[in-house]
């Protein structure tokens, strides 16, 4: 059985593996993957050495995970990269990781959550789903991602109704998803979930796109305004820097 996993890195100090899936059902112009298809936290030297070596089979993937548990004391896995939910084997991957008693974080745009995946997430005590909300403006959503917002909001509600632990993430993009927009996102989250958590990522600009990096003032203003409704977390403040090992390819 072939998965859509093409890259795995391991953060030694965090005991956490970042498992990257290839392909996405959205087409966001600011996607960090347009800078590099690999984990962008790796050094330029490491990045230069990486070459695509194919998608992993389920057995190969589980072999890498079991080895990381034995050799490095792996405790947590983050499923991300592009969009894990487009991998039909994702429910099996989650089941296998859950059987190994690993903490699981699934990063997703929540556009496609099928029943098999929902069931797996419902029964997984150590799973957290991190949903990236691009914008709450339906016109901008379809213009920039290529897909309607409606399905994302419907799936968020479905996950919450089924007791899945969900946190949210959005990218601060001056002129597209700025302090006003993120305050609206925060207000919306406070209306649908108790004690919502929102991770705010300042944009890393992609050459050839019109959006710039937000200033520190813009970041502070966005945090202050969103904090009225949600607990705000900034990505660079999560955890400490860690040594990174490439487990695949």
Where on the chain is the footprint of ligand SF4 (CB under 6 A)?
24, 26-28, 31, 33, 82-83, 109, 132
Token pair for residue 174? 């001056």
Q: How far is the CB of 75 from ligand SF4 (least distance, A)?
A: 25
* CA–CA separation, 241 and 213 (whole Å): 22
* CA–CA separation, 166 and 156 (whole Å): 8
Q: How far is the CB of 220 from ligand SF4 (least distance, A)?
A: 24
Q: How far is the CB of 199 from ligand SF4 (least distance, A)?
A: 13
Q: How far is the CB of 57 from ligand SF4 (least distance, A)?
A: 23
Closer by beta carbon to ligand SF4, 71 or else 212:
212
Closer by beta carbon to ligand SF4, 42 or else 107:
107
Closer by beta carbon to ligand SF4, 15 or else 33:
33
Tell the residue number behind the tokens 């419907």, with chain if given: 154
Closer by beta carbon to ligand SF4, 27 or else 227:
27
Instruction: State phi, psi for 209 to the nearest 5 degrees.
Output: -105, 155
Cβ-contact 112, 88 below 8 angstroms: no
Q: How far is the CB of 132 from ligand SF4 (least distance, A)?
A: 6
Closer by beta carbon to ligand SF4, 40 or else 49:
40
* CA–CA separation, 172 and 213 (whole Å): 9
Taking Cα atoms as reference points, which of 231, 232, 178 lies closest to residue 200?
Answer: 232
Percentage helix, strand, coil for the chain under 3-state DSSP, each rounded to 5: 40, 25, 40
Q: How far is the CB of 171 from ligand SF4 (least distance, A)?
A: 8
Cβ-contact 17, 69 below 8 angstroms: no
Q: How far is the CB of 123 from ligand SF4 (least distance, A)?
A: 26
Name the strand (E) or helix (H) holding 170: strand 166-172
Closer by beta carbon to ligand SF4, 80 or else 91:
80
Closer by beta carbon to ligand SF4, 101 or else 143:
143
Q: How many CB atoms lie within 10 A of CB 42?
A: 18
Q: CB burial class (10 A; 0-12, 13-18, 19+) of residue 51?
A: exposed
Q: CB burial class (10 A; 0-12, 13-18, 19+) of residue 19?
A: buried
């Amino acid at each position: 059985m072939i998965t859509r996993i093409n890259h795995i890195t391991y953060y030694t100090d965090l005991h956490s593996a970042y498992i990257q899936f290839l392909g996405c059902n959205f087409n966001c112009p600011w996607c960090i993957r347009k800078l590099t298809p690999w984990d962008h936290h790796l050094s330029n030297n490491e990045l230069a050495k990486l070459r695509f070596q194919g998608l992993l089979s389920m057995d190969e993937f589980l072999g890498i995970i079991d080895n990381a548990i034995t050799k490095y004391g792996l405790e947590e896995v983050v499923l991300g990269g592009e969009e894990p939910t487009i991998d039909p084997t994702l429910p099996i991957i989650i089941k296998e990781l859950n059987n190994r008693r690993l903490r699981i974080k699934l990063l997703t745009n929540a556009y496609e959550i099928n029943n098999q995946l929902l069931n797996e997430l419902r029964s997984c005590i150590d799973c957290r789903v991190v949903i990236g909300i691009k914008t709450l403006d339906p016109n901008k959503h379809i213009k920039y991602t290529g897909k309607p917002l409606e399905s994302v909001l419907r799936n968020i509600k479905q996950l919450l109704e089924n007791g899945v632990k969900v946190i949210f993430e959005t990218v601060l993009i001056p002129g597209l998803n700025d302090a006003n927009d993120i305050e609206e996102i925060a207000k919306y989250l406070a209306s649908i979930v108790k004690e919502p958590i929102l991770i705010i990522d300042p944009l890393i600009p992609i050459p050839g796109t019109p959006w710039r990096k937000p200033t520190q003032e813009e970041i502070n203003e966005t945090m202050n305004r969103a904090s009225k409704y949600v607990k705000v977390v900034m990505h660079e403040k999560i955890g400490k820097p860690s040594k990174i090992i490439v487990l695949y390819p």
